[in-house]
């Protein structure tokens, strides 16, 4: 994202901020319980760390809630990379990114965040520059890299989605 330009800095910061929350839990006194998604869910449910009613002010959000935000973004990434990999150059990056966002993450964001995201998409580089980000020369090479990535993302997403569904945690505030 940083290679996309300063417009995406706020998205990078948001992503890093949530990853840091999870990393701090992993490095904390109960780090062993954060080794896997399953063990994190069990520990946080058993110890009342997860709040199903509200986001407690002045407290570090739970690992479960934090991962859910990143998990939702992973679905956006899956759709965006799929769009990029299956479009041999006609569509604009911004249109593909926006379409993926409207189909996924937009449902979970406030009106203001959606407006900011829409502006950011307009600053996205053209497809050829996106290919440089993933170190490929043309669409044929990009398709292999992107679709392989999408396949992996789908596997990861589905595992997390199943765990959150089983534990009724898909709408954590």
Query: Which are the contacts of 124, defined by CB distance < 8 A and separation ≥ 6?
Result: 4, 93, 94, 97, 130
Nearest distance from residue 32's CB to ligand LTTT4AJV, in Å? 26
Please answer whether residues 9 and 17 qualify as being in contact, where contact means their C-beta atoms are separated by less than 8 angstroms.
no
Q: Is 147 in the site for ligand LTTT4AJV (CB under 6 A)?
A: no
Q: Is 40:63 a contact under the CB 8 Å cutoff? A: yes
On whether the CB atoms of residues 22 and 28 are closer than 8 A, the answer is: no
Eight-class DSSP state of 57: T
Site residues (CB under 6 A) for ligand LTTT4AJV, limited to 9-38: 11, 14-15
Binding to ligand LTTT4AJV by residue 163, rule CB under 6 A?
no
Q: Pattern 85-124, binding to ligand LTTT4AJV, x per CB under 6 A?
A: ------------x---x---x-------x---x-------
CA distance 65 to 72: 11
Candidate residues 7, 22, 37, 69; the one interacting with ligand LTTT4AJV per rule CB under 6 A: 69
> Cα 115 to the chain's mean position, in Å?
18
What span, in angstroms and rounded, lies between the C-alpha atoms of 67 and 98?
Answer: 23
- Residue number with CB closer to ligand LTTT4AJV (11 or 45): 11
Q: How far is the CB of 92 from ligand LTTT4AJV (least distance, A)?
A: 13
Report if residue 157 touches ligand LTTT4AJV, rule: CB under 6 A.
Answer: no
Residue 145 binds ligand LTTT4AJV, judged by CB under 6 A: no
Rounded-to-integer distance, Cα 42 and Cα 44, Å: 6
Where do contacts with ligand LTTT4AJV occur on this chain (CB under 6 A)?
A: 1, 4, 8, 11, 14-15, 69, 73, 76-77, 84, 97, 101, 105, 113, 117, 130, 133-134
């Amino acid at each position: 994202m940083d290679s996309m330009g300063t417009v995406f800095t706020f998205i990078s910061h948001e992503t890093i901020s949530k990853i840091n929350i999870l990393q701090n839990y992993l490095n904390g006194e109960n780090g062993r319980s954060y080794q896997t998604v399953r063990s994190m869910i069990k520990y946080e449910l058993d110890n009342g760390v997860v709040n199903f009613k509200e986001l407690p002010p002045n407290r570090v959000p739970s690992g479960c809630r934090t991962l859910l935000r990143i998990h939702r973004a992973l679905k956006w990434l899956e759709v965006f990379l799929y769009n990029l990999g299956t479009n041999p150059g006609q569509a604009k990056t911004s249109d593909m990114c926006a379409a993926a966002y409207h189909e996924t993450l937009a449902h979970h964001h406030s009106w203001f965040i959606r407006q900011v995201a829409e502006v950011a998409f307009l600053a996205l580089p053209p497809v050829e520059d996106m290919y440089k980000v993933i170190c490929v020369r043309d669409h044929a090479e990009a398709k292999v890299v992107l679709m392989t990535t999408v396949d992996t993302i789908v596997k990861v997403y589905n595992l997390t989605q199943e765990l959150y569904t089983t534990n009724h945690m898909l709408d954590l505030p």
